Amino acid sequence: MPGAPRVGVLAYQGDVREHLAALAAVGAAAAEVRSLADLDAVDGLVVPGGESTVIGKLAARYGLLEPLRERAAAGLPVFGTCAGMIFLAREVEGPPQDLLGVLDVRVRRNAFGRQVASFEAEVDVKGVDGGPVAGAFIRAPWVADAGPEVEVLAELEGKVVAVRQGNLLATAFHPELSGEVRLHRWLVDLIAERRST
């Protein structure tokens, strides 16, 4: 797809296939990222939902923690969903785990409850046109604390569930499981903005 942004999905664990499909639906050339060479070949990255501790351990094992931190700090557009939000965060409440620490938030894991408490909800996300965003909350986190550079994009039941900090976008929910692609389009637009500067 000539000219299309190449967007990677960190493909160690989680809902990789669904994100690849959502990215393709918004015109991106989607690719799995597992290695440094894969990371070097993309213009943006999605960190999917799944199990944040596993994602962190595998990123560390395959030598991607520091390169991911460096790319995010240098402006690589990154979108994290659910476990991806946790992995991007500076701090997580609970047992220590490998984090990128690039998003200035403290998150609470499983904040909305365990697997049996999973639910779907319509979320009004600031900056997203066309009405509420449909999302699945599966052992979802929420943002317990956010730094001054973090913009709150959405709340649910008074809890912060979507944020943006410059080139970083994160949601506590899974839009890709509901067939929702507007946040993936937003990521592609961030890449286009970065390319034009």
Q: Which residues are catalytic?
A: 82, 174, 176
155-163 CB contacts, 8 Å cutoff, 24+ apart = 156/121, 156/123, 159/111, 159/112, 161/123, 161/135, 161/137, 162/123, 162/125, 163/85, 163/103, 163/105
Copy the structure tokens of residue 33: 């990222």
Distance CA 157, CA 119 (A): 13
